[in-house]
Structure 1
Amino acid sequence: MNTLTRYAAAATNGDDADTLIDRAKQHGLDAVELRWKSIDPRNLSVLTGARSSGVNVAAIDLGVVDADHDPRADLPNLLSAANATSCRRLLLTQRRAAGGADAEARAWFVTMLRQLAEQCEAPGLSLVVRVARSGETESGLTSTADLREVLAAVNRGNVAAETDLSAMLTGGEDAQRSTDSLVGRVGYARLGDRAAELDTDVIGAFLADLQVYGYGDVVAVPADAKLGELLDSIGTSVTFDADRLAKFQQTLVENNLDGAVMLSAENVVSVSGYWPMNGTCVAVVPRSGEPHLLVPAGEEFWAARSGWANLHMYQAGRIGDPSLADTVASQLRRLRDTGVISGRRIGVEGPFRAQVPPHMAHEVSGRHEIIRPVVASALDAETVFFDAALCRSRAAKTTAELAALRRTAAIADIGLQTFRDGLRDGVRDIDLATEVERAIETQGVGHLGASRVRGYAFVMSGPQTSQCHLDYEFSSTRRMRDGEWILMELAVVADGYWQDLSRVFVLGDPTDQQREIAETAETAFVAAARAAVPGATGAEVDDAARRAIDAAGMGEAYPHQTGHGVGIAFHEQYPLLKPGSTHVLEEGNVIAIEPGVYVPGVGGVRNEDDLVVGSADGATTLQSVPHAVSVSGSRR
């Protein structure tokens, strides 16, 4: 079952807010869906109390609306309730017109939605249009087709549709086809009133489709007597990485910082667990208390995978929308005025030696350089670079981070095996590299719940492998031949968590020289892995590998460092495994170990794995595809 899904307890039989919140806590859920009629806008203490105890309001359902029940008339109270609970969406459906005047009722509803959507843009609220639920015979929206018609007529970025599994099945719709027809515009999902009756395979397929189609937010489940049984059958709620947030905020305390504002992909991933689409998400983390994430409209459905309760949607990309700098400035002032973040020293990102790409890897964002002065002005604070301290604090991975890296490793193994299986006499390097990337992405998306996967493979054959220790690799149109080394350098990222790997094989029977080189490189790899124990320095691990290569008389053929950290970046700057490194390894470090031997005119050997530090016997590899000297050769 889909373990990445979080659930919101939804009211049944007129449950009031107190009852629903208690039921959510009882079943370990971190969110509820409330009905507007159950909320007293004059007394929001019960809702703010729920927030302080870890229960979020995923949605406020306004019910069936028409001119006599116009939500615009109650907008001040709605905004007050949404702000108090950090709720990001309002649910509503259209009332059927009396006397059969459905076209007139639909026209009113569309006009109302447009106007309400405009009023909800600044506070970052989404409007989610839904179909009728059990007992709502007065609703004029009864099918997915109705929802699509309304979305097309309104055409606003913060107006989306709810997909309700029970309603679709009751209406005779194909759930997968109907959900597919709302791709990109699913703003909320629910299992619906029949959830307890449905087969878990049907629910599992629905949840999997949501992940595939880009929806990663909470799914509403009926909070009735069978809630516990239902949750046991489909999996429990998953939230953000509290351990990572605690470590991050401790770093702020240790560096005398009152908060931090960050945009780079690696830092947003590190603190929130969410891999930004294009680098315009902004993580705002106070020294204590809850973090906040600013996200552009449309991306909030993906960003919700972080589990952060405080997502703030802003409009971007349209003619007339404010610039990112102006948007961030206004959002930061609002967070300052509401007491979320304040103080005189705010941590920001300094100049990067190299930047980790967001999902849209073709355009790495450098927007933190633009936003840095905005932070100082909007918060009236000194901005302080704290990258070094941040790199150090995130070197030891949390349990959740290790799980994410193990998932990436499993996907990377697909690429390693595809490379090994694809080695043939006469195959072009570029063709095999492309096949590896294709396999990683086509088989990796959806594997173990991964939603976004990229692979970057560089295949080099023959004498070119002796140059693969340089700061560049490329795949050429050269054809590999029997008797040659073929080496692949591979980077894999799954939902923001990276692996850095290499594999090399002789195609066919190796010569004595090739076998000696390969065995020397492998001896160095094993020595480094055994030396990588908690308390060892980076220099000691490097020395173990270097001594093994020196002993074989090949020391001059090993020109680079032994390894580095890996995780939310392909190359993390802590710990470094190289001569003179004083970086101390600790339990939970994930490191790439990559000693190599390179002989011009003959070739180069480098097998690289990512390993977890923790055992007194040495680091443990995350890879399942083994090192080997050669693979069987074959003719074209």
Structure 2
Amino acid sequence: MGFTRFALSASAGTDITHLIKLAESHELDAIEVGWRAVTRSAEAELLAARARGISVTTIDLGAVTTADDPRGEFDRLVAFASAASCRRVTLTAAADPNDTREQVRRWFDAMLRELAERCEEPGLSLVVRVGRPAEATSVIADTADLRDVLASVNRLNVSAEADLTAFAAAGEDSDRATASLVGRLGHVRLGDMAEEFPAAVVSGFLADLQSYGYADVVALPADAALPQLLESLGGNVTHDTARVAQLQQTLAENNLDAAVLLSSENVLSISGYWPMNGTCVAIVPRTGDPHLLVPAGEEFWAARSGWHNLHMYQAGRITDPPFATTVDRLLRRLARGGSAVGRRVGVEGPFRAQVPPHMAHEVSGRHEIIRPVVASALDAEVVFFDQALCRSRAAKTPAELRALRRSAAIADVGLRTFRDGLIDGARDIDVATEVERAIETFGVGYQGASRVRGYAFVMSGPQTSQCHLDYEFSSTRRMRTGEHVLMELAVVADGYWQDLSRVFVIGEPTDQQRLLHQTAEAAFQAAARAAVPGATGAQVDAAAREVIDAAGLAEAYPHQTGHGVGIAFHEQFPLLKPGSDHVLEEGNVIAIEPGVYLPGVGGVRNEDNLVVSSSLGAASLQTIPHALNVER
């Protein structure tokens, strides 16, 4: 499975026409060009390719000198970059015969500061790179030089390039060199020697990038044996076109010209990117390309979305404008540029609860201030369309199902750790923290996951009878042989959630505990069989409830049978409860969680996440079975 988006990089002598044809023939949607090759006629050719889906991700200024100062042409470069939706410029510094190395470095740093200011408004980033073998006069020779430039300029829109070939040419260890640039990686190249590296070296290099959070394009040489190279690297990744198409269909059905989305779950749903702190904005027109507004420094993470149109804004400094002003400016620019944002725009309504961004301790609450900005900037009617939005995202796309299977595999590690840690005398809180540790240490890096969290709540003895309430917690209580021990577990991997429960008895269960377990398990299986495309949420709930009622435990089952799960721990559609007319469809991912609870005795609830896909019932994503007890 691939986790990287690749761009085809022009080698010396490769003309732009050939580069575009080569990218199209290998189903790549991104190219990188040298600025000296971007003539006026080439500009028109590149913009025509952009309309066909081939984006220019990077413009390379090359090795610049004091005698060949790029500032004179920078206005034309910025205009072209904006038209082509390009947001990155790479460059290095070269020595001039009349200047010393120190003079070149001082000039280069001063020039970068000036260009960085000029790049803020259009949202461009500057990426400083090591000189390549053909640029023998470069004064930036290794990662130590790159770090010196970053420290001297110290601007968020100035970053460094990691080039596997350049590292090797400089005699540097690629692992250490890449690690030394973490947090300021703005671009990555495999370089002209990509085919000569062992596959394990290249895959390790890409895996490191993923674990460090870099998710932007990786440049491949145009003269490589591309089919074999791409196959060895796991294939190319781009944005989830199926999800964009589903939302655009929803916009058409609701007579909306566009959607402006700010909440973390909706940005994730439409883009595939889980925001860091909840200050990304997705703009999706009814037709045409979507746009994503991201703060400086986060764009290299947000590139995981694969969207062509990322717009970077400056934030965090006392000189930066307020967030609302930034959004207003972007929306007006899009409208002036001809983007079909329209006059009737869907936005998010008031929230009952919010899914946290990666920075879970600081959920952004900026939705209310953005609505009037949308109305003013676009001269638009603002329409709440939360219900339609929730319904449109309920059936998962193949890309979303892959992400959820990955988070399920990570969650299984937590379920297994919980089961194996249940012993007489263990404290609930200690088992819970060990589960969270196991999830995060295993999960980060697993199949490219870069951000993983586990939230485990372990309850033992009579406390398990209260686990259906909204205030679960892990205490210092010590679990004992013969007691129920139940864990409620939430796991998130790059924004895709799992909602799970497991319960076991330590040692030999009593007859009463056997009855509770058998009843809850039979109800779970009945609900899973009933969860077929076309069934209503009420029908699935009734299947579980009938089993529990027949066991004489109706009063012990006070809650609903389940709900949707995916980009939120609890999704609003479909709900599996009495009276629910939500109709299940293929691709829904649902949590099924019937349980029985006897105060003073304990509670039993085993909860899995399942995919609705067959007339035989929903299939579980979990591999850790529902067992009655743990033998010790």
State the TM-score, normalized to the length of structure 1: 0.98
Displacement of 1:18 in angstroms is 1.2
What is the deviation of 1:54? Answer: 1.4
Aligned mates of 1:225, 1:530 — CA distance in 2? 51
Q: Is the 8 A contact 1:97 1:140 kept in 2?
A: no
Q: How far is 1:45 from its partner? A: 1.9
Alignment: residue pair count: 632
Alignment of 1:240-259 (within 5 A): 240-259=239-258
Kept in 1: contact 2:16–2:42 (CA 8 A): no
AA aligned to 1:153 is S
Q: Counterpart in 1 of 2:294?
A: 295
Match of 1:196 in 2: 195
**CA distances 1:456-514 after superposition (whole Å, capped 9, x unpaired):** 11000000000111112000111101100000000011111111000000111100000
**For residue 20 of structure 2, what is the aligned residue in structure 1?**
21
Mapped contact 2:31–2:58 kept (Cα < 8 A): yes
Alignment match, 2:421: 422
The amino acid across from 1:611 in the alignment is L
Deviation at 1:68, TM superposition (A): 2.1
Between the aligned partners of 2:114 and 2:356, the Cα distance in structure 1 is 37
Structure 2 residue aligned with 1:106? 105
Distance 2:625 2:89 in 1: 52
Give the whole-Å Cα distance in 2 for the aligned partners of 1:14 and 1:154: 33
Q: Quick one: distance in 2 between partners of 1:614 and 1:417?
A: 26
Q: How far apart, CA to CA, are the structure 1 residues paired with 2:216 and 2:165? A: 18
Give, as a single letter, the amino acid of the residue that structure 2 aligns with 1:20.
Answer: L
One-letter code aligned to 1:201: A
Aligned to 1:315: 314
SS of structure 2 residue aligned to 1:502: strand
**Cα distance in 1 for residues equivalent to 2:213 and 2:583:** 40
The C-alpha deviation readout for 1:163-200, integer Å capped at 9, x for no partner, is: 10011012110111011111101100000111111111
Say whether residues 1:181 and 2:183 are aligned partners: no
**1:432-581, aligned counterparts within 5 Å?**
432-581=431-580
1:359 lines up with 2:362 in the alignment? no
1:134 offset after TM fit, Å?
2.4
Measured after TM superposition, the shift of residue 90 of structure 1 is: 0.5
Structure 2 counterpart of 1:210, which letter?
Answer: L
Deviates more, 1:307-316 or 1:79-88: 79-88
CA distance in 1, matches of 2:133, 2:37: 18
Partner of 2:232: 233
- Summarize deviations over 1:319-360 as a string: whole Å, max 9, x none: 110111111111111011111143221000001111100000
What is the deviation of 1:284? 0.6
Which amino acid letter does the alignment assign opposite residue 350 of structure 1?
Answer: G
1:380-399 to 2 correspondences below 5 Å: 380-399=379-398
User: 1:66/1:13 Cα in 2 relative to 1: closer, same or farther (>3 Å)?
Assistant: closer
How far apart are the structure 2 equivalents of 1:392 and 1:142? 54
Shift of 1:46: 0.9
CA deviation digits over 1:578-623, x for unaligned, max 9? 0011111111110000000000110000000000001111000000
User: Residue by residue, what CA displacement relative to the aligned partner does 1:349-377 show, whole Å, maximum 9, x if unpaired?
Assistant: 00111110000001111111111111111
DSSP-derived class of the 1:231 partner:
helix
Q: How does 1:203-222 map to 2 (within 5 A)?
A: 203-222=202-221
Instruction: Tell me how far 1:132 sits from its aligned partner.
Output: 1.1
Q: How many Å separate the matches in 2 of 1:225 and 1:447?
A: 29
Cross-structure match for 1:65? 64
- Cα pair 1:294 1:311 within 8 Å, conserved: yes
Question: Match of 1:44, SS?
Answer: helix
Q: 1:41, 1:507 → 2: CA distance? A: 75
* Match runs of 1:6-45 below 5 Å: 6-41=5-40, 44-45=43-44
Q: Distance in 2 between matches of 1:444 and 1:59?
A: 32
Is the CA contact (8 Å cut-off) linking 1:41 and 1:80 kept in structure 2?
Answer: no
Tell me how far apart the structure 2 counterparts of residues 398 and 514 of structure 1 sit (CA, whole Å): 40
1:343 paired residue number? 342
For residue 253 of structure 1, give the secondary structure of its aligned residue in structure 2.
helix
How far, CA to CA, are the matches of 2:538 and 2:132 in structure 1?
A: 65
Letter in 1 for 2:403: A
Q: Secondary structure at the match of 2:32?
A: strand
The superposition leaves residues 379-429 of structure 1 with CA deviations (integer Å, 9 ceiling, x where unpaired) of 111110000001011111111111110001000001000100110111111
Shift in Å, 1:212:
1.5
Match of 1:122 in 2: 121
AA aligned opposite 1:209: D
In structure 1, runs of 5+ residues without a counterpart are: none
List aligned pairs for 1:586-605, cutoff 5 A: 586-605=585-604
Q: How does 1:51-90 map to 2 (within 5 A)?
A: 51-90=50-89
Instruction: Report what 1:413 is aligned to.
Output: 412
Q: Distance in 1 between matches of 2:228 and 2:402?
A: 26
> For the Cα contact (< 8 Å) 2:452–2:491, is it kept in 1?
yes
Q: Secondary structure at the match of 1:576?
A: strand
Give the distance between the partners of 2:206 and 2:548, measured in 1 at CA: 51
Summarize deviations over 1:239-291 as a string: whole Å, max 9, x none: 01000000000000000001011110100000000000000000011111000
For the 8 Å contact 1:265–1:275, the answer to whether it is kept is: yes
Distance 1:17 1:86 in 2: 17
Which letter does structure 2 place at the counterpart of 1:271?
Answer: I
How far off its partner does 1:229 sit?
2.2
The yes-or-no answer on 1:93 pairing with 2:98 is: no
Provide the secondary structure at the position in 2 that maps to 1:529: helix
Contact 1:503–1:608 (CA under 8 A) maintained in structure 2: yes
* In structure 1, distance between residues paired with 2:85 and 2:575: 41
Which region of structure 1 is more displaced relative to structure 2, 588-597 or 50-59?
50-59
Residue-by-residue CA offset, 1:121-145 (whole Å, 9 max, x unaligned): 1000000011111211121111111
Q: Check conservation: 1:134, 1:193, Cα contact below 8 A.
A: no
Q: Secondary structure at the match of 1:618?
A: coil
User: In the alignment, is residue 306 of structure 1 matched against residue 305 of structure 2?
Assistant: yes
Instruction: Judge which range, 167-176 or 37-46, deviates more.
Output: 37-46
* Deviation of 1:100 (Å): 6.2
**Would you say the 8 A contact 1:265–1:279 is kept in 2?**
yes
Q: List runs of 5+ in structure 2 lacking aligned partners.
A: none
In structure 2, how many angstroms separate the alpha carbons of the residues matched to 1:298 and 1:345?
A: 32
Say whether the 8 Å CA contact 1:168–1:175 is kept in structure 2: yes
What is the CA deviation profile of residues 276-310 of structure 1, one whole-angstrom value per residue up to 9, with x for unaligned ones?
A: 00000000111110000000000000000000010
**Contact 2:89-2:127 within 8 A present in 1 as well:** yes
AA matched with 2:310: L
Matching residue's letter, 2:469: L
3-state SS, counterpart of residue 438 of structure 1: helix
2:609 counterpart letter in structure 1 = D
SS of aligned partner of 1:313: strand
Is residue 141 of structure 2 the alignment partner of residue 142 of structure 1? yes
Name the aligned partner's letter for residue 58 of structure 2.
Answer: A
Q: Identity across aligned pairs (percent)?
A: 69
Instruction: Give the Cα separation in 2 of the matches to 1:128 and 1:341.
Output: 31
The answer to which of 520-529 and 46-55 deviates more is 46-55
State the SS of the aligned residue for 2:130.
Answer: coil
Distance 1:20 1:492 in 2: 43
Query: Which secondary structure state, in structure 2, belongs to the residue aligned with residue 611 of structure 1?
Result: strand
1:502 and 1:606 in contact (8 A); partners too: yes
Q: Verify the 8 A CA contact 2:165 2:192 in the aligned structure 1.
A: yes
Contact 1:333 1:379 (C-alpha < 8 Å) held by counterparts: yes
Alpha-carbon distance between aligned partners in 1 of 2:399 and 2:105, rounded to the nearest angstrom? 47
Decide whether the 8 Å contact of 1:30 with 1:237 is kept in 2: no
How much has 1:517 moved relative to structure 2? 0.6
> What amino acid does structure 1 have at the position aligned with 2:59?
I
Aligned to 2:583: 584
Q: Which moved more, 1:339-348 or 1:310-319?
A: 339-348
- Match of residue 282 from structure 1: 281
Q: Secondary structure at the match of 2:3?
A: coil
Offset of 1:99 from its aligned partner?
5.3
Q: Secondary structure at the match of 2:188?
A: strand
1:376 pairs with 2:412: no
Q: 2: distance between equivalents of 1:522 and 1:117?
A: 61
Once the 2 structures are TM-superposed, how far is the Cα of residue 43 of structure 1 from its aligned partner? 5.4
